[in-house]
Amino acid sequence: MTKEQIIDKWLPIISDDYMHFTPDQFAYAKLFSMQCNVKDYDDRGVMMWATVKDVDSVMRTQVVLFYIKPEYRGSNLFLTMIKNLETIAMKEGSKEIIISGSISGYKEEKFNKIFTKFGYTQAGFIKKV
């Protein structure tokens, strides 16, 4: 399956689950996603990321989309995806992985607790405007 086919498959599923994609957001997400790497987890979940050199010349892997279908949340798929991400990031020369809780489909408190358990630290601020 091509990257575009994977994106075409997953964006409607994610949109239905989150119930908030407008047609403009959907078009933007598709366009943005085409610039990323993507891994499909056999109709259970999907992950999209980009590894880039930041302004301080450090390679970082930024997760753009990390989604697991509701019926597979709580399974070992989460751990599988995280371990794959870490392996990919190291192979791509990344020194850090950046993940946003708002892209997971999990509640933020649970998401933070899970990633802390796996050695991630919480950083950054968000202000709704």
Per-residue pLDDT tens digits for 7-40:
888 888 887 887 666 666 667 666 666 667 888 8
Q: Say if 52 falls within a structural domain.
A: yes
Residue whose tokens read 């597979």:
72
Under the banding of pLDDT at 50, 70 and 90, the label for residue 105 is low
Q: Say if 124 falls within a structural domain.
A: no
Q: Say if 6 falls within a structural domain.
A: no
Q: What's the confidence (pLDDT) of residue 90?
A: 95
pLDDT tens per residue across span 31-57: 666 667 888 888 899 988 888 888 889
Q: What percent of the chain has pLDDT over 70?
A: 81
* Arithmetic mean of pLDDT over the chain: 82
We report the CATH number of the domain holding residue 68 as 3.40.630.30
Domains identified in the chain, total number: 1
Give the pairing of strands 96-98 and 37-41: unpaired
In angstroms, the CA 66 to CA 106 distance is 10
Q: Say if 13 falls within a structural domain.
A: no
Q: What's the confidence (pLDDT) of residue 33?
A: 65
Residue 106: pLDDT over 80? no
Q: Say if 87 falls within a structural domain.
A: yes
The reported pTM is 0.76
Q: Say if 101 falls within a structural domain.
A: yes
Give the pairing of strands 59-68 and 96-98: parallel
Q: Say if 74 falls within a structural domain.
A: yes
Q: Say if 107 falls within a structural domain.
A: yes
Domain assignment of residue 110, given as a range: 37-117
